[in-house]
Amino acid sequence: MLNFNFSIDLPVRSEWANVDLLRTSVQNCFTAIFSDIEGCHSLAMVTGELLENAIKYGDWSGKESCFRLKVWGQGRKAHIAVENPVRPDDNGASEVLNILRWIRCFPSANEAYRARLLQIAQGPANGGVSKLGLVRIAYEGDCDLGAEVSNGVIRVTAERDF
């Protein structure tokens, strides 16, 4: 069993080009550590999706135009956290927390994913927005997801065993 500790903690400008740069960097770092190439690809996908959500749903109206990416590992677990500012009057953070609670109502991420696909197939809801992203991350990334909101910042985390 490979035991390791590492940490990458970066303030990142909220620019779309940085998503691919960081996704590739994370994949390369994990590939250098683990032999599970598919798992490394999944973590890179999760990183990219969380970064995209931060850029799409973050509050970039203030002076702060950065979000934070933190990637770390301990023992056989890899962790990813993305933090971004949110507006107090925006219900996006509440939606994230509600979606994560909804996912936990199912015995597995696979079952939550299938249930969300069935909801989408039954017709447009939520103004035509699928709300599939976090469910997809949990299922395809084989990750446990969490989130917390504090002082105008949402922190979304993903954890995966290797």
The verdict on pTM exceeding 0.85 is: yes
CATH number at residue 36: 3.30.565.10
**What local confidence, expressed as pLDDT, does residue 132 receive?**
86
Q: Quick one: pLDDT at residue 1?
A: 43
- Domain count within the chain: 1
- Judged against a pLDDT cut of 80, whether residue 149 lies above it is answered with yes
Range of the domain at 43: 5-161
Residue with tokens 């996912």: 103
Q: Would you say residue 161 has pLDDT above 60?
A: yes
Place of tokens 């994230």: 96
| Sheet of 77-85, strands arranged across | 5-13, 66-74, 77-85, 153-161, 144-150
Give me the DSSP letters along 10-24.
EEEE--HHHHHHHHH
| pLDDT mean across residues, the chain | 87
Confidence grade of residue 18 (pLDDT, cut at 50, 70, 90): very high
Question: For a pLDDT cut of 90, what percent of the chain falls above it?
Answer: 51
What pLDDT, on a 0 to 100 scale, did the predictor assign at position 33? 78
